[in-house]
Homo-oligomer: A and B are copies of this chain.
Amino acid sequence: MQLKLERVSVRTRTIGEFVEITDQVDDVVRRSGIREGIALVRSRHTTAAVTCNEPDPRLHADMRDAVYTTFPASEPYRHIEEGPQNAVAHLATAMLFGESTWVAVRESRVDVGTWQHLYLVELYEARMREVDVAVLGE
C-alpha cells in the first residue's frame, strides 16, 4: 500500500464559477504510480467547495441560482465584514456542496461515473485556490 499526498492550485476568475479539476486529480494519480485504490479530494477553503457533476454550463447556472434562492444575499447575516456574499459563500460551501469527496482509482486513473466530473466551485471571488489530493492504494 502506497500514499501520495499533494496540493494542487486552481485559479478562479469569478464568483459562481465551476472550475473542472478532474484532470488535475488524475495527474496526481498518475504521478503516484498507484494503479488501484482511492483518491480523496478536498478544498482548503471555507468559501470554495468541491463537488461532482455533469459538465453542462446550464446545470452550473441552475446550481448558482439555487445557491441564492436557498440562501438569499438579502438576509440580515451577522458574519458581514466582507459583505453578504461572503456569508452566503460560507453557507453554500459547508451546507450545500461540501468541501470534500473521494473517487475510485482503477487502472491508474480516476474512475468516475459517465456523467461525473470533479469541480472546484468558487463561491466568493476570483482567487488562487488550493485543493488537497491524497491517493492511497497499490
Residues of A within 8 A of B (CB): 1-3, 5, 7, 36-38, 40, 42-46, 51-54, 56, 58-59, 61-63, 65-67, 69-71, 75, 77-80, 87, 90-91, 93-104, 106, 111-116, 130, 132, 134, 136-138
Contact = CB atoms under 8 A, between A and B. Distances in A.
Contacts of A98: 98, 101
How many of these chains are in the complex? Answer: 3
Interface residue SS majority, chain A: mixed
Given A46-B52, A46-B53, A87 B59 contact: yes
13 contacts: A3-B36, A3-B37, A3-B137, A3-B138, A5-B38, A37-B136, A38-B40, A44-B116, A53-B93, A58-B79, A62-B78, A62-B79, A95-B96
